[in-house]
Amino acid sequence: MNYYLWPALFILISVVVGLVRILRGPTAADRMMAAQLFGTGGVAILLILAQAMQMPSLVDVALIYALLAAITMVVFVRCQWRSHENTGEMEDESH
Amino acid sequence: MENSLNLAAVTFDGVLALVLLVLAWQLLRSPNLFKAIVLFISFGLMLSLAWVRLKAVDIALAEAAIGAGLTGALFLTALDRLQRNNQKAGDSLISQPGKVIAGISVLALTCILGWTVWTLPPFSNQMLALVSSNMPISGVENPVTAVLLNFRGYDTLLEIGVLLLAAVGVLAVTPSAVMVADSAPSPILILLLRLLLPFIILVSGYILWIGKYAPGGAFQAGAVLAAGGILLATAAVRFNLSASKALPLATGIGLLIFLLVALATMMLRGNYLQYPVAQAGTLILVIEAAATLSIAAVLVLLFVGLKSDADCPVPGEDSKNFIFEEENTIK
Amino acid sequence: MSLTDLFGSFLLLLAIPFFWGGSLGLLRFPDIYTRLHALTKADNLGLGLVVAGSILISKEWTVGVKLILIWLAVLTASTISCYLIANAARKRKINPWKIP
Amino acid sequence: MTIPLLYALVGVVLLGMGLYSLVMYSHLVRKILALNVSGAGVFLFLVAAADRTSGPLPDPVPHAMVLTGIVVAVSATALALALTCRIHQVSGTTQLTDNEPD
């Protein structure tokens, strides 16, 4: 059953490659996107581990991940929205 | 699956351990606070993979709910308020010799700890044997919930009290109790809320219920509910903390019910927090439901308390366009 | 190894290049909009394949329903955050990358 | 060299890194991050120690303690962040410099 760990390993490596974008990413939004890549990759790894380690309760962990992935992003965009406010963009904000 | 040293497991854990160390190292080293926080969020996500590999699924559930939902939101809100006037994350104020001494002493501590870990005596299974022998009378099947709510119920009672203290602390520090969001939420955000919120509440109830048989329970369910609450709070345009009666009341409910049950058991059966075996399961569920509510309320209160300190933005100040400009991190 | 296990593992293996594509896209693409493409499309498809593979391997329908719910949740989460970022970027007049 | 031992050593190294940067950097948010990282290291060590049982099931008692520890750590972090914001609001700096007469 452990041979399922190989795909989990490769997806983990692809997620780690996203780490470079966090370190290098010029803008804050790039960094936030890479963090979301960690989230989606994490869900995939969890699903494979659920089969590899024969623990069906891991699917609940993946379910929580999937649900809450959007929250950090929403807080980031809503929270950093304020600094956009200061630069007095002409367009109307709420559309 | 005993810890067989087959190649796939070793490489997976090796890579995961390396990722944890590199993330932690980069996160602690970076003077750019936003980058440090994003690295910390990714560190939390990778950490819950480590919990899964160590067969600690309850903790992975809690880490996922808190890491993905709460820590990022708390740090980003605090950062947004701290960096209003571009306060840079200055470097250390410690003199050069001080740094060397600190470095050597921490290194020595780590080596000593590493050596003790390496030479730990073989595992004595008394606690595990004790717990599994008493499982039938605990009223639940999941050993972690049994330990949390039954065998060490007093510890969890005090822990919910600690959460309440944190909420009181944050409220005491919040000058303006009115959280004013800066702009109307975009319709897409409202769509996200309409789609996700009922689902989050459903999953929170499911996690609470599953806690009796499989990994789950009050803390994980409370954290998931709190994450839903935070999603709601970020979309809200205005939230008056002092006017809202529900939130402060809900924070107390968990401790209150736990205390009532504890006193009731003391009255009926003579000793504190010893549930009658027949009703142990239902009593635990009642306590867990109340604890879920109060944990969720406390965590949402912490977030709203942090966010509502936000004084309104000073117009005209040329604070750089934070999201999309090249960050000039000082070296 | 029954046939469904075989096919399930094949789907899992098929998902790996999508994740790799998504990550490399995130690294190599020149501006925000293209990186958003890489992030949202490639990873969601990779996750879809992983979900399909896991459903085949796990063989229980209860787990299967939960897996499909997970995939739908990730889809909504990433599409909406992708919109939020792209909208914020456009508002800041980040013009898309042009071939120099 | 079993899997739990590997994670226990990672936990110890995380604790060392956290302590070092807690001492080293003066910005309060960096200190809070350092505390969280060393806390995660301690938890990792505890759970790794719990996984050394002979049978398939790990020992649930450290799991229960670490579970409550994680929830308390989050609320402690929130309180620390609230205090940092308050210090920033009152004194304008986010570093506790002792030589500054208030």
pTM of the model as a whole:
0.89
pLDDT for D8: 92
Residue D77 pLDDT: 94
Query: Regarding the domain delimited by D3-99, which CATH topology (the fold level of the hierarchy) does it fall under?
Result: Helix Hairpins (1.10.287)
Question: How confident is residue B90, by pLDDT bands cut at 50, 70 and 90?
Answer: low
- Residue B267 makes CB contacts below 8 A (sequence gap 6+) with none
**Within a domain: C98:** no
> Does residue C70 sit within a domain?
yes
Which residue range forms the structural domain that includes residue C81?
3-91
pLDDT-derived band of residue C67, with 50, 70 and 90 as boundaries?
Answer: very high
Instruction: State whether residue C89 sits within 8 Å of chain B by CB.
Output: yes
Confirm whether B26 is domain-assigned: no
Task: Note whether B86 contacts A: Cβ–Cβ < 8 A.
Answer: no
Is residue C97, in this structure, part of any structural domain at all? no
Residues in chain B with CB shorter than 8 Å from the CB of C87 are: 186, 188
Please name which of B175, B293, B299, B303 lies closest in space to residue B242, comparing C-alpha atoms. B175
Write the residue in C50, C60, C77 that is nearest to A69 by C-beta: C77
Question: Residue B59: its pLDDT value, please?
Answer: 93
CA triplet D65, B144, B55: central angle to 5 degrees? Answer: 90
pLDDT at position D101 is: 55
Mean pLDDT on B79-106: 75
Are B and C touching by the rule of 3+ CB pairs within 8 Å? yes
| pLDDT of B311 higher than 70 | no
Burial label, B133 (beta-carbon count in 10 A; 0-12, 13-18, 19+): exposed
Q: Please, which pLDDT band fits residue B22 given cuts at 50, 70 and 90?
A: very high
Residue numbers in B near C89 (CB within 8 A)? 324
In a domain? residue B312: yes
- The number of domains in chain B is 1
Q: Does C80 touch chain B (CB under 8 A)?
A: yes
Residue of A nearest to B25 (CA): A23
| Chain C neighbours, 3+ Cβ pairs < 8 A | A, B
Say if residue C39's pLDDT is above 70.
Answer: yes
Residues of chain D with C-beta less than 8 angstroms from the C-beta of B13? 3, 6-7
User: Average per-residue pLDDT in chain A?
Assistant: 78
Whether the CB of B172 is below 8 Å from some CB of chain C: the reply is no
Contacts of A18 (CB under 8 A, 6+ apart): A34, A37, A38, A41, C23, C26, C27
pLDDT at C99 over 50: yes
Q: Residue B185 sits in which domain range?
A: 131-331
- The mean pLDDT value for D76-85 works out to 92
Burial label, A45 (beta-carbon count in 10 A; 0-12, 13-18, 19+): buried
Domain extents for chain A? 2-81
Q: Is residue C96 part of a domain?
A: no
pLDDT digits 0-9 by tens, A25-66: 777 888 888 888 888 899 999 999 998 888 888 999 999 988
Amino acid at B224: V
More confident residue, C39 or D80: D80
> Residue B313: is its pLDDT beyond 50?
no
In percent, the amount of chain A with pLDDT more than 70 equals: 82
